[in-house]
Structure 1
Amino acid sequence: MEIWINPRCGKCRAALGALNDAGVEYTVRRYLEEPPTAAELAKVLERLGLEPWDITRIDEQAAKDLEMKDWPREAGERDRWIAAMAEHPILIQRPIITADDGHAIVARTPDALKSVLP
């Protein structure tokens, strides 16, 4: 299991605490320091069953600078969104957990987090 975190994020710290409490083995990826590639993001999105705009932090300054609120949310624009997140990883919603069984979640709620705990 891998968890993508920003250590300054309270939801990320809560998710790490829950994983530790459950005794789950995992690796941490500080995605701001080790940004995912566009290909990695595409794979994670596939595992999540989401589109890039579903996990974009649209209120971040980078999104405002790029005027992402006005970007079309359609299949033809998918690569544009993914490229922006790869270039500006602060735009990626967090924490993201990819489980060994192929399951992936955005662990922002207790229920979502429970879905990857034993």
Structure 2
Amino acid sequence: MEIWINPACSKCRTATAALDEAGISYTVRRYLDDPPTPEELSDVITRLNLDPWHLARLNEPAAALVADLPRDEAHRADWIRLMSANPTLIQRPIITTDDNTTVVARDPETLATVLKTP
């Protein structure tokens, strides 16, 4: 299992604490220090069954980079490229289980789905 976190994020700390409490082994990726490549981010977005703009943190200062970018298939790669280059735009925490199930664990219900994963 891998979790993409920002250690300053309370939801990320909640998720890692829950994984620790459940005794689940995981690898931490501090995605601000080790940003995903566009290919990695595209794979995650595909597993989440989302469009990139649904995974974007639009309240970040870097959101100005995507503010006028159309939310359509023609601009999907642009969104992914900008999010990869500016990882503060990526929602967190993102957990990928060993079977490649991927979730954005921002709420207790979603987090609970990975805690049940063997």
**TM-score range for the pair, normalised by the shorter chain length:** over 0.9
Once superposed, which parts of structure 1, at least 4 consecutive aligned residues long, lie more than 2 Å away? none
| TM-aligned CA deviation for residue 69 of structure 1 | 2.9
| TM-aligned CA deviation for residue 71 of structure 1 | 1.8
Deviations 1:67-107 (A, max 9, x none): x2332111111000000011101110000000111210000
Give me the identity figure in percent. Answer: 55
Number of equivalent positions: 116
The answer for unaligned runs of 5 or more in structure 1 is none
| Residue identity matched to 2:67 | K
Q: CA separation in 2, counterparts of 1:95 and 1:116?
A: 12
Q: CA separation in 2, counterparts of 1:42 and 1:19?
A: 25
Cα-Cα RMSD: 0.8
Equivalent residue number for residue 69 of structure 2:
71
Equivalent residue number for residue 29 of structure 1:
29
Query: Scaled by the length of structure 1, what TM-score is found?
Result: 0.95
| TM-aligned CA deviation for residue 51 of structure 1 | 0.9
| TM-aligned CA deviation for residue 63 of structure 1 | 1.0
The answer for unaligned runs of 5 or more in structure 2 is none
| TM-aligned CA deviation for residue 109 of structure 1 | 0.3
